Amino acid sequence: MSTVLKTESITMRFGGVTAVNELKLNIEEHKIVALIGPNGAGKTTAFNMITGVYTPTEGKVKYTAPGKDEVDITGKRPSDIAKMGIARTFQNIRLFKDLSVYENVMIAKHLHLKSDVFSATLHLPWYNAEQREMEKDVEELLRKVDLWELRNEKASSLPYGQQRRLEIVRALATGPKLLLLDEPAAGMNPKETAELTEFIRQIRDEYNLTIFMIEHHMDLVMEISDWIYVLDFGMEIAQGTPADIQNNTRVIEAYLGVDEDA
């Protein structure tokens, strides 16, 4: 199994706060890897360092697209990282609220466009060909995830669960190799969570993805993950298979608070 993403002791400090401390991740191809930990543990910050929103104070992020050489992506711009094949969703849904479902997904296709702005404006033949290709892909994708009927709705008018799903679909449309999901099941009921679990598996297999996700719903995490990292106060306190993590005393302590008598 080859590694897709590797972080070499990345640290992020905000003033005096060390949000993430010497985190070492190693994410293998085609796996579903979870990052868990109590609130404020630094999980989202880790995502932000990987996707270029923040540049790590120390350490390096290395990415290997399948079949390509390893590249150092530390401090690269988010848009460039997206182009290399890392897509993400956000903890607080960040859809393009006033745009339609269709436009939301079409925008994610823009990064592969080769035509320059003038050929696009003048709708020259080679641009039109690209545009048709994009339309075809988006239609196929939206049909597959049952959002085609809703394509003309404003993104903000969708029910909450659909918005979460749309955000994943939008990330998928960029054609990623590695998909980062920040609390995809937040605010979902057990039924929706079960559906989401199935959906994540399905897209992993269909699009041959590697998935790295932050999640608080333990049943989802335990059911779906191949590997789990646990973070507390910015430090990794454990990693292992779901079975290992469930029985790890440090993890239990971190979640329940330290027992005085122990």
Ligand X SMILES: Nc1ncnc2c1ncn2[C@@H]1O[C@H](COP(=O)(O)OP(=O)(O)OP(=O)(O)O)[C@@H](O)[C@H]1O
**Residue from 25, 73, 95, 147 that binds other proteins (CB under 8 A)?**
95
Give the DSSP letter string of 115-169: S-HHHHHTT-HHHHHHHHHHHHHHHHHHHHTT-GGGTTSBGGGS-HHHHHHHHHH
**Residue from 3, 57, 91, 248 that binds Mg ion (CB under 5 A)?**
91
> H or E segment at 30?
none
Q: Give min distance, CB of 17 to ligand X, in A.
A: 5
Using CB under 6 A as the criterion, what x/- string covers residues 83-122 for binding ligand X? --------x-------------------------------
**CA-to-CA separations, 94 to 66, 130, 133, 153, 211, in angstroms, rounded:** 28, 27, 26, 16, 19
> Which span sits near other proteins by CB under 8 A: 68-76, 82-90, 189-197, 240-248?
82-90
239 is a site residue for Mg ion (CB under 5 A): no
Sequence-ordered list of residues with C-beta below 8 angstroms from that of 22, at least 6 positions apart, any chain = 9, 10, 11, 58, 59, 235
44 is a site residue for Mg ion (CB under 5 A): yes
89 is a site residue for Mg ion (CB under 5 A): no
Please choose which of other proteins, ligand X, Mg ion, none residue 148 contacts, taking the beta carbon within 5 to 8 angstroms, the exact cut-off set by kind.
none
Q: Spell out where 29-98 has E strands.
A: 32-36, 58-64, 70-72, 86-88
**Residue from 1, 39, 117, 260 that binds ligand X (CB under 6 A)?**
39
110 by DSSP, 3-state: which? helix
**Residue from 45, 115, 162, 239 that binds ligand X (CB under 6 A)?**
45
Using CB under 8 A as the criterion, what x/- string covers residues 22-61 for binding other proteins? -----------------------------x-x--------
CA dihedral (118, 124, 125, 129) positive or negative: positive
Sequence-ordered list of residues with C-beta below 8 angstroms from that of 231, at least 6 positions apart, any chain = 20, 23, 35, 36, 37, 41, 42, 43, 46, 237
**Residue from 20, 34, 61, 134 that binds other proteins (CB under 8 A)?**
134
- Given the rule CB under 6 A, which residues bind ligand X? 14, 17, 19, 37, 39-45, 91
- Which residues contact other proteins (rule: CB under 8 A)? 51, 53, 77-80, 82-83, 87-88, 90, 94-99, 103, 106-111, 113, 115, 117, 120-123, 127, 130-131, 134, 170-171, 174
